Structure 1
Amino acid sequence: MKRLLNVLLIVLTVTFTLGAQAVSEAPVASALDVQFGVMAGPTGFSSVALTQNEGKISDTVTINMSVFPSPNEVIARLANGELDFASLPTNVAANLYNKGVKVKLAAVIGNGMLSVLSSDGSASSVEDLLGKTVHVPGAGSTPDQMSQLLLKQAGLEVGKDVILDYSVAAPAQLAQLVIAGKVSLAVLPQPFVSMILNRSPKSRAVVDVQSLYHQLSGVLNYPMSVLVVSEAFAKNHPLALATVLKAYEDSVAWVNADPIAAGQAIEAAGIMASAMATPAIPSCNLVFIPSQEAKAEVQAYFSFLHGFSPASIGGTIPSEDLYL
């Protein structure tokens, strides 16, 4: 019996040792470089903490962030597989999906941040816009889409009740003209709204577009920017996906909590000068709402856009398959 117990003890010891060696020799998860694209401007603000610590957001995941001047460059790189994640205007995400680009909407990262501004304070309500010319930075832009959408919802006719002028396409240039008093009325996003109000004592915000949208549509917010992820990345790297999404949520919280430090990081990343970014951050409506929670508001926004311009979202309202 004693001999049998000794044999069993030896067997158990060997088994435990081999098991321990197997565990210790298990391969460590390989490092993963994540390609992340953002646009210059407020769409990229909330991502900036991802650039800290040389982009290393965990022991195994590093963010390589690229900043692009326009959505077209981001679209091209998503389409050919060069990017894993991107921050984009919401309607651009719909267009990508409808064109067959394999992306998933991961989260809403920015709600509306548009205002109609008066350079001389002569307008103070929506009624004061009747019969007036309102400058819009670029036909087909989000300010243009929202202007047309809200005018239609209000029962007003573009070109008759309110004239939309697209002669100045660049928001920065249009903002300077408002400050100089050369443009009386304009619809602009942050950070240009804050810049105008800070530099021009006579300027006034006539309409908070977000409040008007809520009033006319019954939907609390419209999602102005979203985070998308390639379908292949989401499928092949579920743990890294969760790590990136958590890091992005933390980034949004940090930017909102410390606009001064965030502004410096935004400038260092090449997204925008801190002098413009810092004062605008509190008004930029930066959020992190997972796609499944934001779905109702996103679909409502797509429905409204489709109602007056199907082409603005790529022809059709995306199915629920868009959402991560």
Structure 2
Amino acid sequence: MKKLCSILLVMAMTASMLMGCGGKGQDSDKEGKKETTKQEQKADPVEVNVMALKGPTAMGMVKFMNDSDEGTLEDDNTYQFQIAASADEVTPKLVQGEADIAAVPANLASVLYNNTKGKVQVLAINTLGVLYIVESGDTVQSAADLKGKTIYASGKGSTPEYALSYILSSNGIDPASDVKIEWKSEHSECVAALANDPNGIAMLPEPFVTTAQTKNPNIRVALDLTEEWDKIQEGKEEKSALLTGVVVARTDFVKENPEAVESFLDNYEESVEYVNENTQEAAKLVGKYGIVTEEVAKTALPKCNITFVDGDDMKEQLSGYLAVLSEQNPKSIGGALPKDDFYYSR
């Protein structure tokens, strides 16, 4: 009997060990399947079509663009960049799906969101205030001095127009009757008009201020519109800042390619940091891509207020800016303030 019990005990222990080994094998198989699933779930590389305006928005991307062209980016996506002279070239391509991501004027992002019923999201702020009033003479010392003047400007229907209108009206000047604004289709046309008019006054962003000064050393910056905006905000409980540009994406593209969007933002942020910290090298790239000449870029880059702001900070700054524009003219932001889904959250 004792012998039989011993045999049964050994058989039971052996079975237990075999079951244990079998369990470990199953766990190992499960872990292997999980790892395989993770690899399978990794998004396939996609082609990302990007557009930027000829100015600070494109200047912040030059390192990104160059790395893409040289094949030194760490992600596997393919990027196609296009630099446009005006927002009118960008809008239809974004709406029609020919562009996936684009750098546009801050207010235009809101207009697109409203006009497409939420088919556009803002990813990040890329440019702060870069607008200036310049002249050859010495007639403008304050915003009030613009009354009765003729101002060459471009950017009608976008940030430049509404920023200028806000500053004029806040200083007691009616933009419709107290000044004459001659709208040009591109900033370069304003530079040309200024060169042909010794007494001319123009509203220009960098780097076009520097371009104008290289053609006429007598041109001086009379007003920094960012400073003028800040003066108006003094004493207000809810303050806003003057913003120039943002990066937007098609909502469908964001939903379908979340990893590609994250990779784009990582690359763009690194590019902005590089441009702000390496003026000489960045200027060469700006010249390489024909945005402005290398010499102009060397002087202009530190004054272009190129930045990268995303997440909650982006939402706070941009929503405040759009609220100011809405109070002035609801049409400037597409008729209504965007809802929360307008702001991309990382």
Which TM bucket (shorter chain)?
A: 0.7 to 0.9
Aligned to 1:223: 243
Aligned to 1:316: 336
Shift of 1:220: 5.3
Residue by residue, what CA displacement relative to the aligned partner does 1:51-95 show, whole Å, maximum 9, x if unpaired? Answer: 233356433333222223332232222212232211111111111
Aligned to 1:251: 271
How many Å separate the matches in 2 of 1:45 and 1:194? Answer: 14
Kept after mapping to 2: 8 A contact 1:68/1:74: yes
User: Which moves more between the two structures, 44-53 or 281-290?
Assistant: 44-53
1:57-206 pair list within 5 angstroms: 57-100=73-116, 102-137=119-154, 139-158=156-175, 160-161=177-178, 163-166=179-182, 168-179=184-195, 181-206=197-222
Residue by residue, what CA displacement relative to the aligned partner does 1:15-45 show, whole Å, maximum 9, x if unpaired? Answer: 4774676446943642222222222222222
Aligned CA RMSD, in angstroms, stands at 2.8
How many Å separate the matches in 1 of 2:199 and 2:90? Answer: 32
The aligned amino acid for 1:194 is T
Provide structure 1 residue ranges, at least 5 long, that are not aligned to the other structure. Answer: none
Provide structure 2 residue ranges, at least 5 long, that are not aligned to the other structure. Answer: 1-9
The aligned amino acid for 1:208 is D
How many Å separate the matches in 2 of 1:15 and 1:294? Answer: 48
How many Å separate the matches in 2 of 1:89 and 1:138? Answer: 9
How many Å separate the matches in 2 of 1:14 and 1:159? Answer: 80
Q: TM-score, normalising length from structure 1?
A: 0.87
Q: Secondary structure at the match of 1:148?
A: helix
Aligned to 2:44: 30
Shift of 1:168: 4.5
Quickly say closer, same or farther: Cα 1:105–1:139, change in 2 above 3 A.
closer
Quickly say closer, same or farther: Cα 1:164–1:78, change in 2 above 3 A.
same
User: Which moves more between the two structures, 249-258 or 152-161?
Assistant: 152-161
Aligned to 1:49: 63
Shift of 1:253: 0.7
How many Å separate the matches in 1 of 2:51 and 2:289? Answer: 12
How many Å separate the matches in 1 of 2:158 and 2:45? Answer: 39
Q: Secondary structure at the match of 2:327?
A: helix
Kept after mapping to 2: 8 A contact 1:120/1:181: no
The aligned amino acid for 2:137 is D
The aligned amino acid for 1:32 is V
Residue by residue, what CA displacement relative to the aligned partner does 1:136-168 show, whole Å, maximum 9, x if unpaired? Answer: 23543433222211111122223554x123164
Quickly say closer, same or farther: Cα 1:130–1:69, change in 2 above 3 A.
closer
Kept after mapping to 2: 8 A contact 1:117/1:186: yes
Shift of 1:289: 0.9
Shift of 1:115: 0.7
Residue by residue, what CA displacement relative to the aligned partner does 1:243-286 show, whole Å, maximum 9, x if unpaired? Answer: 22122111111111112222322333444443333321111111
